[in-house]
A and B are shown apart, each in its own frame.
Chain A
């Protein structure tokens, strides 16, 4: 177990998020949704969260932004307790949900991105600047006057992300942000998230390990407990850890493992095919 908790020390400074011995049970439930979970996020870290249904992933996010209050143990976000100061915490923490349809409210894209800022009473000029910057950050220039309902799933999720970025949160909480999207929408959303790497602290919940291959660390939650806190390359090579936590390797990594090509670390069909071609060529030359 101890070697499954080698938190990267790459990112220095005080933690932006810290959880200590966090525990929570839903009212009326005998089973703890979270039991004794401790970890820290440093500024600029990109950290994944995986684990079986009912493992505690969503509960953790809800405790971090103050939607739930812990039974025991502490949560701090930027030094604040989300349970007692939810409004201050939510200025620093943005949350992206599964289904972008549920969060888009305004008639036009730019109004939707501005919605959160309007609620904070930001000056008009500053608002215009921040909305423009957020729209550029997600690559939606030219979409300002489009109506959200006419957009594709990937575009809608980028509008929702822009709405978060306009508020300039330090921490982004992502709750399966690609699960409702098709292959194209997924790729779009992941590319935009990748660009935020280092600039924000990100906690990304997903069932798709291929989305976390370049994360700094991955937390594995199972039955409310933090069973591992490891770099992704450790997780994808630990067959027991994967199986115990009902995780599946992405198809490309499974093929690579079955072909003895894991050392090439392919992530795409193109990279796997290239590794196979190199192997064939080596074999021919060796004859």
Chain B
């Protein structure tokens, strides 16, 4: 499914002294495949935007379209099933006595039948490399394990679009890298994925398209190459792009690498060719 935000504004607490305009006319498409990275500073509106993708928050004005039709036309619950939202620090919401039961909670409410629910739970845990945790108590797991189980709970609904808000925050680097591997595997399996992150280096590694939010507005959107090389300043571009954009000036053959391996190859090419 393709989601489109059309000039979406969102105002929290309108008409009160606490009124805040978190989104100021955002237009953006989430394509039916690939990984969209949404980056931006604290308070840029990233998390507010995420919650519009399944209408957990409704726009104050503007529209959310699903495959061209107004998202509000979808039957109750259908949008939430098709668009899975994983919040920041989702492990805070684990509640069942075992991992298996926790992951089964949402699919068991879809009327799938016990057999099908069990199959989905098993497959989802397998996909996330968490099968061995099925019988464990969630509270006794490590931070990285809990994060996987929380994501499994959303994935078990087989959403077409998976939205991950700061998926690696607070995880050690190796655990974060494992999680990005899972994101790539899901993408290759046909799930459309939105990764919201303030870690530009991480988004550079995993995103097929990038959107930079600033003050509730889209500052730039496009391929990582287009977006990051248009804004190579410190707070908007990953370390790879910042390095390559300095070297491109005298040596255009560096090109516009974004991912780590691409950048290493491009810079090695420069040092070997010229050195």
Contact = CB atoms under 8 A, between A and B. Distances in A.
B174 A248 contact: yes
A259 B264 contact: yes
Interface in A240-255: 246-248, 250-252, 254-255
A282 interface: yes
Given A54-B143, A259-B271, A269-B243, A247 B174 contact: yes
Contacts of A185: 41-42
Contacts of B242: 269-270
Interface stretch (B22-30, B94-102, B246-254): B246-254
A181 B251 CA distance: 34
B61 interface: no
A257 to B, nearest CB: 9
Contacts of B264: 255, 258-259
Contacts of B235: 182-184
Contacts, number: 112
Given A53-B175, A269-B242, A279 B275 contact: yes
B16 interface: no
B200 interface: yes
B75 interface: no
Given A153-B42, A183-B198, A269-B239, A53 B172 contact: yes
B92 interface: no
A283 B271 contact: yes
Contacts of B143: 53-54
Interface in A31-71: 51-55
Nearest to A176: B170
Given A153-B43, A183-B200, A276 B172 contact: no
Contacts of A98: 170
Contacts of A53: 142-144, 170-172, 175
A176 B169 CA distance: 11
A255 B144 contact: no
B132 interface: no
A180 interface: yes
Interface residues of B, number: 39
B170 A29 contact: no
A165 B169 CA distance: 27
A152 interface: yes
A52 B144 CA distance: 10
Contacts of B142: 53-54
A276 B271 contact: yes
B225 interface: no
A283 B270 CA distance: 11
Interface string B113-142: 000000000000000000000000000101
Contacts of A76: none
A149 to B, nearest CB: 8
Contact of B240 (A251, A280, A283): A251
A204 to B, nearest CB: 16
A255 to B, nearest CB: 6
A207 interface: yes
Given A183-B41, A252-B239, 11 more contacts: A29-B140, A52-B172, A52-B174, A53-B143, A53-B172, A152-B42, A152-B43, A153-B42, A251-B260, A259-B271, A280-B251
Interface of A: 29, 51-55, 98, 152-154, 176, 179-185, 187, 207, 246-248, 250-252, 254-255, 258-260, 269-270, 272-273, 276-277, 279-280, 282-284
8 contacts: A154-B42, A187-B234, A248-B173, A251-B201, A269-B243, A276-B271, A280-B251, A284-B274
Interface of B: 40-43, 140, 142-144, 169-175, 177, 198, 200-201, 234-235, 238-240, 242-243, 246-247, 250-251, 260, 263-264, 267-268, 270-271, 274-275
Sorted nearest first, the 5 A-B pairs with minimum C-beta distance are A283-B275, A248-B173, A246-B174, A153-B42, A269-B242
